[in-house]
């Protein structure tokens, strides 16, 4: 990618790229980068850092732009990528919560009934697997 095709203008990072048979101008907002990286990490990013982020994550940005084009006007020359439109690798849309909602383990634990021993104390198949001797070979 050429050096002048990714540039920072104000709080947006602009990319000129060929998508779906047409030259398009992509605009990635600073908030979209912040939602992807975490707002604390993106707060101190310079213009050059944002350009480098877009350059290293260009397949992700292009995928988000194609998604926007499929949802709206397919012939648009300009595509704006805002908060929540860059898919995160962990599946979350943004760093809004500090902790998970689930506080404890929700799986049911199979415990023995009161007064009975645990069902499986030792290893399985401690003895011979076959109950009869194998057939002799001729």
Q: Give CA separation, 69 vs 66, 92, 117, in Å.
A: 5, 22, 63
Q: What is the DSSP letter of 115?
A: T
Q: What's the pTM value of the predicted model, to 2 decimals?
A: 0.58
- Report yes or no: 47 and 8 within 8 Å, Cβ to Cβ: yes
For the chain, the C-alpha Rg in angstroms (whole number) is 28
Q: What is the pLDDT along the chain (138 residues), one digit of tens a residue?
A: 555 588 888 888 899 988 888 898 999 988 888 888 887 777 788 888 888 988 998 888 888 888 888 888 788 888 888 888 887 666 554 445 555 566 666 666 666 666 666 655 555 666 666 677 778 887
Tokens 């990286």 locate to 37
pLDDT in tens, 34-57: 888 887 777 788 888 888 988 998
């Amino acid at each position: 990618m050429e050096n002048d095709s990714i540039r920072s203008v104000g709080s947006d990072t602009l990319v000129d790229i060929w998508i779906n048979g047409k030259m398009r101008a992509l605009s990635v907002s600073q908030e979209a980068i912040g939602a992807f990286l975490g707002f604390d990490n993106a707060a101190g990013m310079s213009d050059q850092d944002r350009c480098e982020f877009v350059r290293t994550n260009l397949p992700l940005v292009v995928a988000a732009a194609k998604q926007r084009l499929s949802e709206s006007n397919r012939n648009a020359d300009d595509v704006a990528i805002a908060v929540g439109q860059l898919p995160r690798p962990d599946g979350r849309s943004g760093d809004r919560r500090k902790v998970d909602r689930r506080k404890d383990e929700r799986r049911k634990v199979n415990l023995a009934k009161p007064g009975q021993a645990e069902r499986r104390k030792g290893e399985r198949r401690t003895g011979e697997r076959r109950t009869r001797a194998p057939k002799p070979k001729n």
